[in-house]
Amino acid sequence: MTASPPVSGLLRRTKLRHFLRARRAQISPEEVGLVNMERRRTPGLRREEVAALAGVGVSWYTWLEQGRDINVSEEIVNAVGNALRLEGCEREYFYRLAGHNPPPRTGGSSRDIVYERMCALVEGWASNPAYITDRYGSIEMASRSARFLFRVNARGDNCVVKFFTDPPTREKYPDAAEVGRGLVAQFRAQSARFPDDPEFDRIAESLCERSPHFAELWDCHEVDDRHQYVRKIAHPQAGVMVFDRLVMRVPECPDSLLTLYVAQPGTGLAAEQSRGLVGARAEAA
């Protein structure tokens, strides 16, 4: 007796079947340059027309739309997506239902607008630390308080590299062992999102040579992709400050991560004093 496929696969293919049928019904022959010479019983394109537009076999497309358990290449997914005029989130949704990671969105002007808004958010994040990093963890922009507290430059410093190669940076963390372990696990998880990018391996190999501690953690193969953490920072005047840390991915900027910190009340000095102290020192930094 043949074992039943995983429920998750069945659900995904069911959603794929409904999605493709709905999208096919929403496109008229005239929209794709087909001459509609006869009355149709149902609106939209026929399966054979979608197959022809995508350059795939009719049987193959039929199986795909029926939700059969077949292996579909990324090229076919892309071709069908083009035939059905899928864009943005619809295209990403289709890729995921078909079992593939969606390609990065294009459109530089849209990304530039979103990135400018992210920068404005970082700069206006009161006196709490905030920064934007690229896919490798290198700073793209940092607020004044972040530069002061975390000893990073406004652009270029890599958070992982700096932690494992700069002792004064590590000394700022009372729980440095936990922070280091998390940084390595997050770096490995991030590298999996870009499997064809050799820069992750280059950074890891370089750090393994420079930091035995990093090398030991890297060999553990731990993975951590959480978005919320608690960070403790030792401040010479405020004492130990505790922050809620939130990391956000922005779809329009797939290579960038936005990290925001909010001081927890009652840590070190009062929250208001802590924020004011950091802000004043950051202004002078």
Distances (CA, A) of 246 to 119, 157, 260, 263, 276: 16, 20, 5, 12, 21
pLDDT given for residue 4 in this prediction: 42
Banded model confidence at residue 39, pLDDT cuts 50, 70, 90: low
Q: Percent of the chain, pLDDT > 70?
A: 78
The answer on pLDDT for 192 being more than 90 is: no
The answer on pLDDT for 126 being more than 70 is: no
CA angle in degrees (0–180, nearest 5) for 99-103-109: 150
d(CA 72, CA 69): 9
The answer on pLDDT for 1 being more than 50 is: no
Lowest mean pLDDT among 61-75, 141-155, 256-270: 256-270
pLDDT given for residue 7 in this prediction: 41
pTM given for the model: 0.58
Amino acid at position 173, single letter:
Y
Average pLDDT, the chain: 79
pLDDT given for residue 242 in this prediction: 87
Quote the strand ranges of the chain, DSSP E: 130-133, 139-142, 228-235, 239-250, 253-263
The answer on pLDDT for 24 being more than 60 is: yes
DSSP 8-state secondary structure symbol assigned to residue 32: G
DSSP 8-state secondary structure symbol assigned to residue 221: T
d(CA 261, CA 280): 17
For residue 162, how far is the Cα from the chain centroid? 22
* pLDDT tens digits along 249-282: 876 677 888 888 888 776 644 344 445 555 545 4
Lowest mean pLDDT among 127-141, 144-158, 176-190, 222-236: 144-158
Banded model confidence at residue 184, pLDDT cuts 50, 70, 90: very high
Region 179-208: what's the mean pLDDT?
90
pLDDT given for residue 216 in this prediction: 93
Strand partners, 253: 250
Distances (CA, A) of 17 to 12, 24, 88: 9, 11, 19
pLDDT given for residue 276 in this prediction: 53
